[in-house]
Structure 1
Amino acid sequence: MDECVEPGRITVDYSHLFPGVVVRADRIADEFDVVFSDGVRTEAGILHDDDGSAALDVVGYATAAGTMLPGRIWPIISIEDVGSEVNIALGPYLR
């Protein structure tokens, strides 16, 4: 029997992602709902490479101000447990 797993939630303190940003996740998951500071939402998933590295694959979205941002793959440079949340630091986007 297949179980439906709820996506995790990532909270971003900005209206967009950028190299070096640290986002907060409620837990580590394969799929996430992403919520930006301007209230805009999108989806993201974790990609894993054979060498053990991981990246966050974020679906494109428009900010509340109307700026269109394309989908991007952001390498995960660190993951740190902080209380009941997880901080995920992102490096420069790969594409």
Structure 2
Amino acid sequence: MSEHVIEVPYSHLHPGLILDAPADTDDFLVLFGDDSESRAKLLRDDTGRPVLRLGGYMTARGTVIDERVWTVREAARHGNRVHLRLGHSLP
């Protein structure tokens, strides 16, 4: 696995999912379990809390997923990776 890639075993993100993200960048590729992919960027909201912006993509079954911003409930660094526990997506 490349350092700037997050692998997700599902075709969608969901609350509670823990992402194993690169710690040395805020911009990375998300590879989903159905072979679809999207770009993601770790940002900060107005209060300084981390949020994840996931670009729009199409699943292997043809479902179009619009760009979404996800809250991050927890972020814990582990060496050159950071584990991000997702909260809910923002409207």
Asked if Structure 1 and Structure 2 have the same fold, meaning a TM-score greater than 0.5 normalized by the shorter chain, the answer is yes
Q: Deviations over 1:39-59 (max 9, x none)?
A: 111101112124220100000
The 8 Å contact of residues 9 and 27 in structure 1, kept in 2 or not, is answered as no
Structure 2 counterpart of 1:93? 89
RMSD of Structure 2 on Structure 1 (CA): 1.9
Map residues 36-51 of structure 1 onto 2, 5 A cutoff: 36-51=32-47
Q: Given residue 20 of structure 1, which amino acid in structure 2 is its aligned partner?
A: G
Q: 1: distance between equivalents of 2:79 and 2:26?
A: 20
1: CA distance, partners of 2:12 / 2:34: 9
Aligned to 1:60: 56
Q: 1:69 aligns with which of 65, 72, 83?
A: 65
| Alpha-carbon displacement from aligned partner over 1:52-73 (angstroms, at most 9, x marks no partner) | 2010000011111111111100
**TM-score normalised by structure 1 residue count:** 0.80
Residue identity (%): 37
Q: Distance in 1 between matches of 2:43 and 2:77?
A: 20
Indicate yes or no: 2:29 matched with 1:33.
Answer: yes
Between the two proteins, the alignment pairs up a number of residues equal to: 89
Q: Counting strand residues as a fraction of each chain, which structure ranks higher?
A: 2
> Aligned-pair distance for 1:29?
1.8
Normalising by structure 2, report the TM-score.
Answer: 0.83
Contact 1:9 1:34 in 2 (8 A): yes
Where do 5+ consecutive residues of structure 2 fail to align?
none
